Structure 1
Amino acid sequence: MPSTTLHKYHEEIAENGFTIIRQFLTAEEIAQYRKASEDLIKYTREGKWPHARTRGKQFPPWPKDFTPDIWGITGLLHPELGELSKPFHDFYASDKILAVAGDILKTDKYGLSMELLNMLINPLTDFELDWHRDTIKPEVSEEEEAELLLKDQYDGAQFNLALLEDNCLIVVPKSHNRIRTPEERKKTTNDNRKEFIQGQITVELAPGDLVFYNNNILHRAAYSSKNLRITLHGSYGRVNHGDSRAKGILQHGIADWLPDLKSDNENLNLLKEKLIALTKKFENVQLGYALEG
């Protein structure tokens, strides 16, 4: 999205840990992507697509046993989805969302790498995620936490794009570049890990609203089975910073199908080639999983 302020979105994320763009999608785009999403949700809940986030499990690997009680669908660009995937090619590789990601990472589209595109939906029974940072384990010492927070702060950009009203994401603003307070450390490592934290806010999104956030911000989510949710959830990497992104991205199994991805979208093919280079670099390397739970 055009901005009169140089790197406006980068500056907002640097300050607060997130930035919200209201009405990022037009009404026509909302309708288009909602229809595509509803088709894929139906397909997945019927047991025809195995790559889903099962209720009760927060982080990969997710169980292979089928259940319609899921809170997310992974691999929206997976070639085995065929025509169901095509609308998401154009969304993920659109010039206007790449412009935002480029602003955040201070590069143009040629400096961006493809990463992930998933979907977050309402489960059939209520479910809440623990407080977490996406790639820093909660048990790390203060010294290690401080070191990791300073490392490659702008190596990637992560987003939620709401297609329906969405008030699931809960964040602690400005927590992305500092160690946890004693309260935060306690409430992110105790048996509950879902308690209220001083200063937390709920990110309220209307259909078509977009939030990008630093994945080191303290965040969690609360999913109501009664409130329909359709939110596109994805990320982009910055070329030459892939090493720090590798575990968080490749843990989702994208290297297994990426070479088979074919698209008519030139931007997507450009992004794909950057990620292929990263997968080759870590071929036969056991990276494990970023978080447990």
Structure 2
Amino acid sequence: MPHPLPHFHHDQIAKVGFTVIRGFLTKEEISHYRKAAEEVVEYAREGKWPHVRTRGKQFPPWPVNFSPDIWGISGLLHPDLGKLSLPFHDCYASDKILDVAGDILQTDKNGISMELFNMLINPLTDFGLDWHRDYIKPEATPEEEAEQLLLNPYAGCQFNLALTDESCLIVVPDSHNRVRTEEERVKTTNENRKEYINGQITVDLKAGDIVFYNANILHRAEYTSKSVRLTLHGSYGHVEHGQTRAKGVLQFGVADWLPRFHPTNPNLILLRSKLEKLAKEYEGQDLGYSLDG
């Protein structure tokens, strides 16, 4: 009989929408990845990397902008980053992070596809993200929302891996399991879209902590310029549910550079091969974007 897969983190996400692992990275790993992250941030703020998230715009497509006032850096695995990218190969494809992803997706590494690996950083001026679900537009009717929430909730998983102490992510626990309340519907569609929602909590992370969360939990973020933020933000897909994930992943342009991406890490080679199949399936198709704004 095959050994049953661990499911602690899967069950945590099923219940409340997220799972936090304290001390996920060792002190040595924190130091190693932080140094690598700082080099990429400096490179991007100097205007040498075009794939950035510009302050004031929260969803793709982001304009080509070389302002240092950015809140995110996309494409940590992008081959054009050269040697700056290499430390992130091992981080994204480490056995211990894939073990958690496998627990959540209920598959071994052969069933996991490469998706996205980015970095979230502090802007130079404060900036807040609106309340949103990653794969469901806020204008969806209750009926549409209920239907979409049931579509392959374990088709993929995403995480924030903190390299510095941070308190940016705000979530409404259990909101991934239901349609919005009347209060939530108003506050996710009004002009502000950043107001306090009853039951919200802030996910406090120390350097080395990681949080995996359901992409359709109601969430937002506050980006302060007053403290350094270096948080690795990535996702993985289940190979059997690529169609569910395609728009949310391919909207970031990963298929454009994937043919030039030739990692040597064995796990990453495996993960890449799964994404390559998905990209070929949608080659030449314009899937649009999951959200606007």
Shorter-chain TM-score range: over 0.9
* Residue of structure 2 in register with 1:287 after alignment: 287
Alignment of 1:77-116 (within 5 A): 77-116=77-116
The CA RMSD over aligned residues, in Å, is 1.0
Using the TM superposition, give the Cα deviation of residue 108 of structure 1 relative to its aligned residue in structure 2, in angstroms.
0.4
CA apart distance, 1:65: 2.5
SS of aligned partner of 1:86? helix
Match of 1:215 in 2: 215
Q: Secondary structure at the match of 1:64?
A: coil
Q: Is the 8 A contact 2:72 2:119 kept in 1?
A: yes
> For this pair of structures, how many residues does the alignment match?
290
Aligned to 2:267: 267
Q: Matched residues in 2 for 1:115 and 1:6: separation?
A: 22
1:260 and 1:274 map into 2 onto residues whose CA distance is 15
- 1:264 CA displacement: 1.4
Q: For 1:286 and 1:36, locate their aligned partners in 2 and report how far apart those are by CA, in whole Å.
A: 34
Distance 1:227 1:189 in 2: 30
Letter in 2 for 1:15: K
SS at match of 1:138: coil
Partner residue in 2 for 1:239: 239
Task: State the match for 2:250 in structure 1.
Answer: 250
Secondary structure of the 1:257 match is helix
Judged with a 3 Å threshold, the aligned counterparts in structure 2 of structure 1 residues 58 and 239 are, in CA distance, closer, same or farther, namely same
TM-superposed CA distance for 1:66, in Å, is 1.4
Question: In the TM superposition, what are the counterparts of 1:1-293 in structure 2 within 5 Å?
Answer: 6-293=6-293
CA distance in 2, matches of 1:140, 1:286: 22
1:202 Cα deviation after fit: 0.2
User: How many angstroms does 1:106 deviate by?
Assistant: 0.3
Structure 1 unaligned residues grouped into runs of 5+:
none
Deviation at 1:262, TM superposition (A): 1.3
Inter-partner Cα distance in structure 2 for 1:278 and 1:205: 33
The secondary structure found in structure 1 opposite 2:240 is coil
Deviation of the 1:6 alpha carbon:
3.4
> Which amino acid in the other structure matches residue 207 of structure 1?
A
% identical aligned pairs: 68
TM-score by length of 1: 0.98
Shift of 1:240: 1.4
Deviations 1:215-251 (A, max 9, x none): 0000000010011100000000000100000000000
| Post-superposition offset of 1:5 | 9.3
* TM-score scaled by length of structure 2: 0.98
Give the letter aligned to residue 187 of structure 2: K
After superposition, the Cα gap between the structure-2 partners of 1:202 and 1:217, relative to the gap in structure 1 and judged at 3 Å, is same
Deviating 4+ runs (over 2 angstroms): none
**How many angstroms does 1:24 deviate by?**
0.2
